[in-house]
Structure 1
C-alpha cells in the first residue's frame, strides 16, 4: 500500500474543514528601507501561533473511538497549546510532553487549556520515546508536531488564506522553520511562489538538508538559542520532500538579528513576537532573502514570548 503524502488537494480540503475552527489572520503592510512587503500575522492566531491549524485538522479527522482514547503530543509549547485547545473544544483528553525548560508562559497556557503535562529533560531524554510510550500505555493517538500528513495540510491553510487575501499567489513567501510543517504546507498551497525557510543559526538542518539533497541532523553540540520553538534536531522526510520538490531554499539568522526583528514588529506593527516566530522577519530585515515586493509575504508565526525575556529586550531597545 502506498504511503499517504501531503498534497495540494489535501491542503485545500483542510482549509475548508478548519472554517469556523481557526481565526483568519491579517495580512499587514510593512516597509523597510524603502521596500514595501506584507506580514502574515500568525502570532494573532488562537493559542498565539499557527499550530492550532494543524492540530485541529488532525483531531477533526479522528474517529469517535479514537477521540474517546485521547491524544498525546510532544512540544516545547506552541504545538502543545494548539493540541490542548483543539482537544478541549472537541472534548478529547490530551497529554502533552514538554521540556522542563520550556517558557513558563507556554506551560501555563497549555495547562490552562485543559491538557495534562509531562515534563522531560531535553538534553538527556527523548520526547519522541516518552510520547510513544505514553500513547501505547494509554491507547491514545500520537499527534506529532510536523511529521504528520494531516498536521502539514492543516498548516497549509495559511497559504490558502494568503492566496485569498492577495487575490492570487504571492511572488515569495518567507517562513520560519523548525520541522518544516508550516513551510511545507504553504509550499503545497502556493506552488507558484518562491519559498524561503529561515532557522536559527546552528539549528539550520533543513537549510543544509535542502542544499545537500538529503536529510542531515543538527550537529552534536548546537549553540544555545532563544528560539525554543525551532529546536528540531532532525526534520521529517514528509516536509523535506515537499520543500525539495518545491524548490525551497533555506538560510539562518543570528540571535541579535532575531531581537532586532522582534523590536521592529513591536515598533512598526504593534505585534508581540517570540524569538522563533520572528526569524523570517529577521531574514527579511537583514536582506538575506533578496528583493521584497508588494506581493512578497513574510510569515511571523508565534507570539508566546516569555515576559521577562521580552521586558529585557524592551529595556535594551530603550537605552
Structure 2
C-alpha cells in the first residue's frame, strides 16, 4: 500500500477538466463551480475523471450509486439486477470481459461466493455496505446533520438500507471469513457510521482476529467515512494504515507495527530459537518475524541518526516488541 498515491488528494481543477470533456463542461456553472446537489452533475464529474485519468467509459443509471473503477482483475457481485445490468454494459463498453467477472447473488446466500465464482483464492474484498437499518433511520440521520449533504446521494434503498444495518452486514462478512480464512488475503469494508467501528473491532477480537486495520477516509472537508480490514495471514500493514483513526480508543487499535519498550529477554530468545528449529530453513513463509529497518538522519540532532523498525510479518507481538527493545539497547550502548 505504501506505493499507492492518491491522485485526488488535491481539489480537481474544474475549468481544466471542462476543456477536456464537453459533457462535463455542459454541467459546469458559469462561475466555474459544480452543483454537487445535482445528481447529474455529480455523475458527470465521475464519468469525466474516469475517462481522463483511467481511460474508462461509463454508463450510469440516475438512481444508483456511481463507484470508481480500478485496473486489477475483479469479480463483482450484487443482489440488484438493475445494478448488474449496468455493470455488464460498462464491462462490455470498456472491453473488460477478460478482467471483470460478474455474478448475481441472493440476499440469503454467501456474501463472498468464491466457489460460485470459481475462485480458489482472491487478494482482497471491497465492500460499501448499506449503512442503515431502515429508511426512517436514513432520513433521521440526514435530518440530524448540521448542514445539508454536500453531494447528492443517488443510492437506491437496496444500496442504503439492510436488516441490522452495516453492523449486521459486516458481521456476516466476519462470520464467513472464519470459514474462508486465508482464501482471501484481506477482507475490507467501508463504514458510514462511526459507532460501528468499535463494535466491529470488538467482534474481530472476540473471534481471535488480531491482524486488522482501521483507517479514516476524508473527502475534502465535508465527507468522512471509515475503513476496516482484517486478515488471517501474518503480513502486517503500515502503522499509519492499521492505526489510522485517532478517535478510536487505543485499546481497540491493533498492536503497533513498531515499538521500543521491551527488551530482548532470554525467554524470548529461547522462544525464537525453538521456533527457528521448527522452521524449514528454505521456506520464508514460516519465518517467525519479518521486519524492515530504516536508518535516516535525525533532523533534530545533527550528530545523530533515527532508526525505525517496521513489523512486516509475524503473529507474535511479544517477540517483535522484545526484538525492538534489544536493538534499542544495543544502539544505546554504541552511542555511549
TM-score, length-scaled by structure 2: 0.28
Structure with greater helix percent: 1
Computing the radius of gyration from Cα coordinates, the structure with the larger value is 2
Q: Which of structures 1 and 2 has the larger relative contact order (alpha carbons within 8 angstroms, sep 6+)? A: 1
TM-score, length-scaled by structure 1: 0.29
